[in-house]
Amino acid sequence: MSPMPAEDRETLERLLGETGAGDAKAFRTLYRLTSARLFGVCLRMLRDRSEAEEVLQETYATVWRRAASFDPTLAAPQTWLVTLARNKAIDRLRQRREATLDDASVLEGVVDERPGPSAEAEAQDGYRRLHDCLDALDPKHANSVREAFFSGATYMELAAGLQVPLGTMKSWIRRALIQLRSCLETG
């Protein structure tokens, strides 16, 4: 995600609050300011324009219904909106997969591509090592890395959330990644 100026974040927080109170004009403005980005998220995940448009519509229907539940202390507005869009796109991908599996002729040619027991054990060991290495980091740095890579938060959003300068946040994440790489290579 690209950095978001603090005034834009405040604008989106205000618009979400007004939308939560049933203000259709605020909802239209929120849509105008955020729909291109959310459409990009949907399109990247679904790789089909018409499905991405449908999921975007479903996302904004959810925004209209749930805007009152948005809590700026828990997530940045852009993060909250992107999470809703991603979840809707994931639901759509699951529906696709389930529809494919309902066709018995498709199931006849399905090969179990899951890794074998040794590969699963290796993957679990890798996950455990990554988790241990993350735990070895300074808690603020580890949480920043988790938010950046697992939640898609931007440096700007992370810096604003922790009230540190943008350069500091970038340094934290860079140093944390160097420490993680070193830990994983030696483990």
Domain with residue 169: its CATH number is 1.10.10.10
- pLDDT digit string (tens) for 138-177? 988 888 888 877 666 788 888 888 899 999 999 998 998 8
**Region 55-76: what's the mean pLDDT?**
94
Lookup: tokens for 116: 């074998």
State the total domains in the chain: 2
Distances (CA, A) of 168 to 100, 108, 165, 171: 48, 55, 5, 5
Per-residue confidence (pLDDT) for residue 187, from 0 to 100: 63
Residue 70: name the closest of 33, 20, 111 by CA: 20
**Region 35-40: what's the mean pLDDT?**
94
Handedness of CA 33, 38, 44, 48 (dihedral sign): negative
pTM of the model: 0.53
Do 73 and 133 have their domain in common?
Answer: no
CA separation for the pair 101, 71 (Å, rounded): 38
Do 83 and 147 have their domain in common?
Answer: no
Q: Assess if residue 160 is contained within a domain.
A: yes
Per-residue confidence (pLDDT) for residue 24, from 0 to 100: 96
CA separation for the pair 8, 70 (Å, rounded): 16
Alpha helices in the chain (DSSP H): 6-20, 24-46, 49-66, 77-102, 104-108, 117-136, 139-150, 155-162, 166-186
Do 47 and 82 have their domain in common?
Answer: yes
Q: Assess if residue 74 is contained within a domain.
A: yes
Mean pLDDT, the chain, integer: 84
Per-residue confidence (pLDDT) for residue 181, from 0 to 100: 86
